[in-house]
Chains A and B, each alone.
Chain A
Amino acid sequence: MAMQKYSVFSLIKNAFKGHKDWEVAWKDPTPKAEYDVIIIGGGGHGLATAYYLAKEHNITKVAIIEKGWIGGGNVGRNTTIIRSNYMHDENGLFSEFGMDLWRNMSLDLNFNVMFSPRGIINLAHSDAQMNAYSRRGNSMRLNGIDAVLLNREEVKKIIPMADFSENVRFPIFGGLMQPSAGTARHDAVAWGYARQADSMGVDIIQNCEVTGFDVSNGKILGIRTSKGEIKAKKIGLCVAGSTNVLAEKLNMTLPIETHLLQACVSEPIKPILDNVVTFGAGHFYCSQSDKGEMVMGGDLDGYNSYAQRGNLPTLQHVLTEGIAMFPFLSKLKMLRTWGGIMDMSMDGSPIIDKTHIEGLYLNCGWCYGGFKATPASGWTFAHTIAQDKPHKLNEGYSLNRFSTGHLIDEKGLGTKTWIS
């Protein structure tokens, strides 16, 4: 049966019928005994992977196994920022490929993901930082990514509400802007991918926990779950902060630590901030949602954690930076705070690769940047699974790059993942 198309006409038609005839967006099937591919994790990346397996590779006998409900993890817990302002080729080309998918996503999925290319500005607070941004901007432009170096006066025209007074500890020298970066409605991304994947035959199985793996002679044969055993010759892990928990069941140790990252929104206010802005003398970023809330985030809590809820000292630290950048924030009341668990890799870049177990594929290590990578991650992971080899775009995101020394350390932080 063809999927009901969302449009202004279907909206009007259903309005006359009292909105009683809308089809369910995705079904609630019981798991089959066997699939061609099982994707573990019904977050943005898992749902996108299943969608691109069906759309690009015609593989539709696919199950998504989700412990909770789809979109309940980091795809529902992020600050919705989308960008490709990376210096290294691997990150830049991968992310810019993703930008093209973002620009087409609402049409492609027939679901309004409210992609809003409002631009991101990274503020600089010293001459040295301006030099570094100039270098990064040039690297971006060489990779076909838009980058504009702004001086203090140009930044002031765009964000006059930032602290441009004299005698501040971290004066604004300028900034690096990627005009095509922006935000999107995060839940819509998960729901849009889920609805399309379901319509092409993917089984989305929620409330189903993976309890073990069936591995024999170095080959994956299937999984054990709270809803019984399910066979598949190809299995992909897309479980972000829970990667180490599943890796332990596979006797694998990974270059990943799980850490807690918080975000928060203020009470809604009238439109004041058109862009995404990041503080350059610490770790704080801010945008304004369509509802008017100031959406803010920053540092990890700083110790290994699976708690999905944060601690106040970090929030206070992050918001102190926010007030240094935008003093008006101090007048606002906090509406909500929340936390998610990040799969922090040892060089700050992700892993999308095969593993030493035949038929087992790994997608993890997204650190702070998982949401914006959703379409490119799903697209390249689907390719890696379908073709049994990485695409050129994710070749650099190999699992063995740590032992061979081919790190992609964008921030130059090394292996202390909790240091920002």
Chain B
Amino acid sequence: MLYILCPHCGLRPQTEFSYGGDATVKRPELNKEISDQDWDNFVYLRKSPRGKHLELWQHISGCRQWIKVERDTLTHEIFTTYKASENT
């Protein structure tokens, strides 16, 4: 069981959360000239690093807020958690 420190609610088991994927992926800006490659990068391409990974989780069975979690994909150690609005 992973335990995730929700910045709003405190330390909670992983079963209260739902995963949201890589938090570093940026959606192309609205009303700008966007190439197919930009969309490709956003929709499909992922670094999926072995090691530190900044990712989105939603505290779906708690405060329902989206948060950012910095986690090691090899050891599953969680280093830091942030509110979605916080800069990392």
Contact = CB atoms under 8 A, between A and B. Distances in A.
Given A248-B49, A403-B36, A415-B44, A306 B19 contact: no
B73 interface: yes
B10 to A, nearest CB: 19
Interface of B: 1-2, 13-15, 19, 21-22, 36-37, 39-41, 43-50, 53, 55, 71, 73-76
B74 A307 contact: yes
B76 A305 contact: yes
Interface in A239-277: 242, 244-245, 248, 253-258
Please report whether the interface of chain B is mostly helix, strand, loop or mixed according to DSSP. Answer: mixed
Interface string A270-314: 000000000000000000000000000000001111110001110
30 contacts: A242-B50, A244-B46, A244-B47, A244-B49, A244-B50, A253-B46, A253-B47, A255-B46, A256-B46, A257-B22, A258-B73, A302-B19, A305-B74, A306-B50, A306-B73, A306-B74, A307-B76, A311-B2, A312-B1, A313-B14, A346-B43, A346-B44, A346-B46, A402-B44, A402-B45, A403-B37, A403-B44, A416-B21, A418-B19, A418-B21
A303 B18 CA distance: 9
A66 to B, nearest CB: 18
Nearest 10 A/B pairs, CB to CB: A255-B44, A403-B40, A402-B44, A244-B48, A257-B48, A253-B45, A306-B50, A346-B44, A306-B74, A303-B19
Interface residues of A, number: 25
Nearest to B71: A303
A254 B45 contact: yes
A415 B39 CA distance: 13
Interface string A304-332: 11110001110000000000000000000
Nearest to A313: B15
